[in-house]
Amino acid sequence: MLYYLFRFLDQQFDIPGAGLFNFISFRAAMAVLLSLVISMLYGDKLIALLRKKQIGETIRELGLEGENKKKGTPTMGGLIILGSILVPTLLFAKLDNIYIILMLITTVWLGFIGFADDYIKVFKKDKRGLASISKIIGQIGLGIIVGTTLYFHQGVITKEEIPQGEVYRYDSDLVSKVTDDNGKVHYMVTEKKPTTTIPFLKNHEIDYSIVLCVFGKEYCKYAWLIFIPVVIFIITAVSNGANLTDGIDGLATGTSAIVGGTLLVFAYVSGNVIFADYFDVMYIPNSGELVIFIAAFVGACIGFLWYNAYPAQVFMGDTGSLAIGGIIATLAIITRKELLIPVMCGIFLVENLSVMIQVSYFKYTKKKFGEGRRIFLMSPLHHHFQKMGMHESKIVSRFWIVGILLAILTVVTLKIR
């Protein structure tokens, strides 16, 4: 909203400083600062309100040290994160940008599902919360919205630079001439294909339609049958992965901030014709606006960490964890980096796998030997280390270190081919 106001003031009255709002970097800086202010100033008031209303977490009897001390800690703190993301984005981003619209829908959609789950747990006194099938249906619904929009919306395109001598090979309506800040001319061909980036390979882009094209060119137009289910799977998997990671103080929040910083780099590079050309990645017009949203997201996570670090004054609950997982997944898909999720979100992946392995092995051994056996002392994985006697602060710190290393490796893929 402020973007439109100050653009009007700059154009009509030439007010000094109003032109700053034309720069993504300035608006991103304002977004991260405002998200920090909102989460840190108003977070305290919300925590006091949650405590007054006795909206406390019911901890499962896990037999972990210090577990009883956490009973009654206010939950639904994800509302702090959601507010700290939405307000700066609404103020500083271009609200007619299709990518910003998708991110706002994702945040509200999964935030509502998580809120419903927490509400049932707290007010209905049902520890199971929202039925698993209801969560899955909600995640699938969001996946359909995101996948359908990214595939069919006319504003979702990529541009690839081509040599000047090759311009004649393309339809003139698809080729645009772009002059960068240094006066260099770029010839960009507009493409509307469901493509993604394959890390570590020289020819690193792949079209989802290739799966169907093997049956004949007439089937290529049905690539949405592949793309949309992939989007649904990614959003569901990453959202649940973040939810499982939210088990000890500060783990999910800090990990998400690290992943958010990585995605900020990708969004900025993909949305800038000069950097996209330098790093030889897809140029995605208008995706640079995502930098404002991601800046607010990172600021919200860091601000929430002020209260969520050990010993936590508030838990985010599913209100926050489902939303941040979905946000990360959607951002990765928009920037065409979904194949990097196993590396970038390695912590979420390992937490997910530890639960799947534990449950599968337990069921297998119970059927074969008559009693269930376990590979881990407890799952998700962070509880396994707790059972080993490791303090949760050390577990969180080490998971963060691993997350930072994975983030660096993910960013390095921009140049390693």
What DSSP string describes 289-342? GHHHHHHHHHHHHHHHHHHHSSSPS---HHHHHHHHHHHHHHHHHHTT-GGGHH
Return the pLDDT at 281.
81
pLDDT band for 330, please (50, 70, 90 cuts): very high
pLDDT tens-digit map of 343-390: 999 999 999 999 999 999 999 998 888 888 999 999 899 999 999 999
The answer to whether 317 and 77 have CB atoms below 8 angstroms apart is: yes
Structure tokens at 33: 């600062």
CB atoms within 10 A of CB 162: 15
Whether the ω angle into residue 163 lies within 30 degrees of 0, i.e. cis, is no
The overall average pLDDT reported for the chain is 86
The answer to whether 332 and 340 have CB atoms below 8 angstroms apart is: yes
**Is the model's pLDDT at 399 over the cut of 60?**
yes
Kindly calculate the radius of gyration of the chain based on its CA atoms and give it in whole angstroms. Answer: 23
Return the pLDDT at 168.
59
Provide mean pLDDT across the span 183-187. 72
Assessment of whether the complete model's pTM goes beyond 0.85: yes
pLDDT band for 14, please (50, 70, 90 cuts): confident
Cα(312)–Cα(305) distance, integer angstroms: 9
Provide mean pLDDT across the span 220-229. 87
More confident call, 343 vs 20: 343
Q: Report which of 81, 101, 105, 82 is spatially closest to residue 93, judged by C-alpha positions.
A: 101
**Is the model's pLDDT at 93 over the cut of 70?**
yes
**Is the model's pLDDT at 243 over the cut of 80?**
yes
Cα(260)–Cα(324) distance, integer angstroms: 9
Cα(289)–Cα(27) distance, integer angstroms: 9
pLDDT band for 172, please (50, 70, 90 cuts): low
CA distances from 31 to 84, 94, 413 (A): 9, 13, 28
Cα(212)–Cα(101) distance, integer angstroms: 30
Provide mean pLDDT across the span 186-213. 76
pLDDT band for 217, please (50, 70, 90 cuts): confident
For 249, phi and psi rounded to 5 degrees?
-55, 120
Q: Which residues contact 248 (CB under 8 A, 6 or more apart)?
A: 310, 382, 383, 386, 392, 395, 396
Coil, strand or helix at 56: strand
Provide mean pLDDT across the span 310-320. 89
**Is the model's pLDDT at 103 over the cut of 90?**
yes
Provide mean pLDDT across the span 40-69. 71
Would you say the C-alpha torsion 309, 311, 312, 317 has a positive or negative sign?
Answer: positive
**Is the model's pLDDT at 7 over the cut of 80?**
no
Provide mean pLDDT across the span 393-414. 94
Structure tokens at 229: 């289910």
Cα(162)–Cα(211) distance, integer angstroms: 26
pLDDT tens-digit map of 137-153: 999 999 999 999 999 99
**Is the model's pLDDT at 325 over the cut of 80?**
yes
Domain ranges, ordered by start, for the chain: 2-157+198-337, 158-191
**Is the model's pLDDT at 27 over the cut of 90?**
yes
**Is the model's pLDDT at 86 over the cut of 70?**
yes
Structure tokens at 338: 């979904």
**Is the model's pLDDT at 56 over the cut of 70?**
no
Cα(208)–Cα(19) distance, integer angstroms: 41
More confident call, 405 vs 2: 405
Which helix (DSSP H) or strand (DSSP E) does residue 176 occupy?
A: strand 175-179
Provide mean pLDDT across the span 388-402. 94
Residues in the chain: 417
More confident call, 1 vs 368: 368
Cα(371)–Cα(363) distance, integer angstroms: 9
Return the pLDDT at 363.
92
The answer to whether 223 and 150 have CB atoms below 8 angstroms apart is: no
Torsion, CA 88, CA 285, CA 407, CA 255, rounded to 10: 30
Coil, strand or helix at 97: coil
pLDDT tens-digit map of 285-303: 889 999 999 999 999 999 9
